[in-house]
Amino acid sequence: MRLNGKVAIITGGASGIGLATARKFVSEGAKVLVADINLQRAEAVVAEFEAAGSPGATAAAQVDVSKFAEVEAMVQRAVDVFGKIDVIFNNAGIAGGKALLDHDPEVDYAPMIRVDQDGVYYGILAAGRQFVKQGTPGVIISTSSIYGEQAAELAFSYSAAKAAVISFTRSAAYELAEHGIRAVAITPGRVGTPIINQFSEELRALFASEQLRNKMTEPEEIANVVAFLASDESNVINGTVVHVDDGYSSFKQRFDLPTF
């Protein structure tokens, strides 16, 4: 088990990619703090692990990642319960969008920046300080997006926040390397999370067609990559953007070739 003995914090850990990653980490031997804005859901995840025969492998924490004091408290809870941290997966986020000229900045810009951008910054800062305090190496993994590297429909604020995550990751890797701390960003494409699965079948089929396998990525497939990045097997991956988008960023669209 390649994560045996490691302690990880996963934000947004009660659903979607976060939940799939929590399950993967525990299966690989890690202890996990399941942190989510919905404490009831986080506690239900812990109960799931307890019932499945993994007592003490997880703990729950309520966190609003847009508030630094709560992120600091989350890190401290992991230390109080498990004695240390080795990994933080800054995964919590919100989605949504509107055409730029229709924006109300307080509704369509500020919340996205507070959660998807500031929340990652706070996680990097709080975890980085804890790693240095412990005097141990650490890994910081943050969820960006394919939208962090390109323009997209109705995604002005979301793309800005996710682009910041990429910049944060590179800068954190540069500044924290002397402490043995790695920082990596992942850029998922179209993933079958509750956020996307609520859309119409037609729209989900369109999303699937944007990827090379012509299907949605499963959260478990993202979790497999995150587990590798959290492990010592990926020690040379640092300051890097890891595309987990099934080729979304490598092509525009499929079309029937004309006759030449």
Query: Domain boundaries in the chain?
Result: 7-243
Q: What is the pLDDT of residue 260?
A: 75
Tokens 């590179």, residue located: 170
Residue 242 pLDDT exceeds 80: yes
Distance, CA of 219 to CA of 207 (rounded, Å): 15
pLDDT tens digits along 106-125? 999 999 999 999 999 999 99
Q: What is the DSSP string of 73-132?
A: HHHHHHHHHHS--SEEEE---------GGG--IIIIIHHHIIIIIIHHHHHHHHHHHHHH
Catalytic residues: 158
Q: How many helices (H) and strands (E) does the chain have?
A: 9, 7
Residue 254 pLDDT exceeds 80: no
Residue 256 pLDDT exceeds 80: no
Distance, CA of 114 to CA of 80 (rounded, Å): 27
pLDDT tens digits along 161-209? 999 999 999 999 999 999 999 999 999 999 998 888 888 999 899 999 9
Tell me the torsion sign for CA atoms 60, 190, 244, 98: negative
- Segment 57-81 mean pLDDT: 98
Q: What is the pLDDT of residue 257?
A: 74
CATH 3.40.50.720 corresponds to the domain 7-243: yes
pTM for the structure as a whole: 0.96
- Lowest pLDDT segment from 76-80, 125-129, 140-144, 202-206: 202-206
